[in-house]
Amino acid sequence: MTTYHELVKRLLDGELTLADLPPELHPQAREALHLVAALDREPVTLSPELVGRVMVSVRGRALSPARRVWRWLAAPRDFELRLRVRPLAIWGGAVAAAAALALILGHLSTGTSPVPVARTASSDNVVFVRFVLYAPGAKRVSVAGTFNQWNQEAAPLVLAGQDGVWTTTLALPVGQHQYAFVVDGERWVADPAAPAVGDGFGRRNSVIAVTPQGARTL
């Protein structure tokens, strides 16, 4: 097993650039970067049957907000409710509910959303992409990006062996995505094997292009 110099590990972790390393470490650093880059660029090919099964499962699990609300409403719960009301109060509540319903319908019939959601991605047009990060000592690692609304809980990586290599495979829609790894829930790290651009907040995001032929680290 190759043991890399601590500075090379920090380079892989995105904390240093090649220029920050002493010249004698450059060959080792380039070798490590090349290795990780090769790992990262490897497209994962799965059988169409498996893809189909996964997508059916994904679609089955994906719930719209309305369905989430419905599930919350429909889920059985234990309640104990004791009421002492006069008939007049019941009629009053019914009138109020009717008035509210009329208001809702009135708003729905005339209201339009001023902020249209521009992007719609076909869920069938996805490519499986493997993400790899060398992060020895990390307790947990995830990947967040434009493909999962920057949700750091959505795509955790798993430790592959004992060497500090974390990995996961995601089904990404075709298109260009920005992403970063989140180490221990607080440290945002750009992928050292992919080009990075400024995120507008003083940090860097990695860029990947997903095409029907596979993924490219753009």
Partner 1 sequence: MRALGFMLAAVGAIALLPLHAVTAQDIPARLLERVPANMVDSVQRIAQDAAAHGLPVEPLLLKAIEGSAKGVSAERVIAAVRVLAARLGESRNALREAGIPAPSPGAVESGADALNAGLNASQVRDLGRVSRPPYDPVVTLQVVAALTALGVPAPQGVRLMAHMIHAGREPKDLLELPNEVQISMARGATAAEAAEGLDAAQGGQGPQGQQGQQGEGNNPRKP
Asked whether position 33 contacts partner 1 by CB under 8 A, the answer is: yes
Q: Measure the CA–CA gap between 178 and 196, rounded to whole angstroms.
A: 9
In this structure, the number of other CB atoms found within 10 A of the CB of residue 129 comes to: 25
Helix (H) or strand (E) run with residue 32 in it:
helix 26-41
Asked whether position 30 contacts partner 1 by CB under 8 A, the answer is: yes
Give whichever of 53 and 203 is closer to partner 1, judged by the CB atom: 203
Burial of 44-68, coded b for 16+ CB within 10 Å and e otherwise, reads: eeeeeeebeeeeeeeeeeeeeeeee
Q: Which of residues 164-203 bind partner 1 (CB under 8 A)?
A: 175-176, 188, 195-201, 203
In this structure, the number of other CB atoms found within 10 A of the CB of residue 9 comes to: 19
Q: Which two tokens stand for residue 179?
A: 């992403």
Stretch that binds partner 1, among 49-57, 70-78, 123-131, 204-212 (CB under 8 A): 204-212
Among the listed residues 58, 69, 99, 160, the single contact to partner 1 using CB under 8 A: 99
In this structure, the number of other CB atoms found within 10 A of the CB of residue 164 comes to: 18
Question: Please, what is the minimum distance in Å from the beta carbon of residue 49 to partner 1?
Answer: 26
Residues interacting with partner 1, by CB under 8 A? 26, 30, 33-34, 37, 41, 65, 86, 88-89, 91-93, 95-97, 99-100, 103-104, 107, 111, 113-119, 144, 146, 149-152, 175-176, 188, 195-201, 203, 207, 209, 211, 213, 216-218
